[in-house]
Amino acid sequence: MLTARVDRELLAAFDAVAEGRGGRSALLRTVLQQALKRVADAPRIAPRADSAGNRVSLTFTDAETAVLDHRAGERGVDRAGWIKALVRRHIALKAGVDDGLRDAVAPIRMQLQRIGRNLNQAMKAGNAAMMADSGLQIERELRRIADMREEINEQIEALADVLRGETSFWKVAD
C-alpha cells in the first residue's frame, strides 16, 4: 500500500490520464515501474531498522476531534503527534513526551538560580553583620533571607504544579 498526498489539480490531471489506462492504481504502478527503470543503476539505501511502518486508523466524532486538536495545540504539536505521544506514554516506550514541559520549567529554574545567588549574598551580609564592629543591621538581613526562603517555596510549588500537571495529563480514567 502506498499513500501520497497531492493537491487537487495534480490529482485531477492524474485522474484524467488514468481514465483510459485502467484507473489510478494501474497508472500509478506503471509510473512507478518506469521511474524505477530510469534509476536502476542508482545506489540503494537500506531502510532504517527501527522505522515506524505500522499504521493504525482511528475514527473520532467531531467533538472528539475538536478536543484532540485543542489538547494537541496546548502542547504545540499536531493531532497525530499528540496521539502518538499519548500512546507511547501509556505503553511506556518514551517517558519524555512533552517538550513544552521544559519550556514551562525553564523560567522557574532561572528564578530559583537568581534567588540562590541573592540568598548567598544575604548570607554573606548576615555573616558580616554579626561581626562586632559592623554597622549592618542583622534584622534587615534576616528579613531578606526569610523573604527569599518564601520566594523559593513559591517557586518550588509552581514547579510541583507543572510536574503534577504533566503526570495528570497522561492519566486516564479507569
81-118 per-position pLDDT tens digit: 888 888 877 776 555 545 566 666 777 778 888 888 88
In a domain, 152, yes or no: yes
In a domain, 10, yes or no: no
> In the chain, pLDDT over 90 holds for what percent of residues?
17
> Helix 8-18 and helix 24-38: axis angle, to 10°?
100
**63 pLDDT exceeds 90?**
yes
Mean pLDDT (whole number) for 51-67: 87
Mean pLDDT (whole number) for 26-35: 90
**61 pLDDT exceeds 90?**
yes
**Of residues 54 and 161, more confidently modeled:** 54
CB 111, CB 104: distance < 8 Å: no
Residue with cell 510536574: 163
Whether 124 and 105 share a structural domain: yes
User: Which positions ≥6 away from 74 have C-beta within 8 Å?
Assistant: 100
Predicted local distance difference test score (pLDDT) of residue 134:
59
Predicted local distance difference test score (pLDDT) of residue 97:
42
Whether 146 and 166 share a structural domain: yes
Predicted TM-score of the model (pTM): 0.34
CB 68, CB 78: distance < 8 Å: no
Whether 130 and 70 share a structural domain: no
Q: Report which of 160, 59, 145 is spatially closest to residue 104, judged by C-alpha positions.
A: 160
Please tell me the total count of domains within the chain.
2
What's the whole-number average pLDDT of the chain?
A: 78
**122 pLDDT exceeds 80?**
no
Whether 110 and 166 share a structural domain: yes
Whether 65 and 129 share a structural domain: no
Most confident of 4-8, 14-18, 45-49, 111-115: 14-18
In a domain, 139, yes or no: yes
DSSP H helical segments within the chain, as ranges? Answer: 8-18, 24-38, 62-75, 79-90, 99-129, 138-170
Predicted local distance difference test score (pLDDT) of residue 62:
95
- Residue range(s) defining the domain that contains residue 65: 60-95
In a domain, 19, yes or no: no
Q: Report which of 43, 45, 14, 84 is spatially closest to residue 4, judged by C-alpha positions.
A: 14
Whether 165 and 126 share a structural domain: yes
> In the chain, pLDDT over 70 holds for what percent of residues?
76
CB 85, CB 170: distance < 8 Å: no
Which letter does DSSP use for residue 48 in this model?
P
Whether 101 and 169 share a structural domain: yes
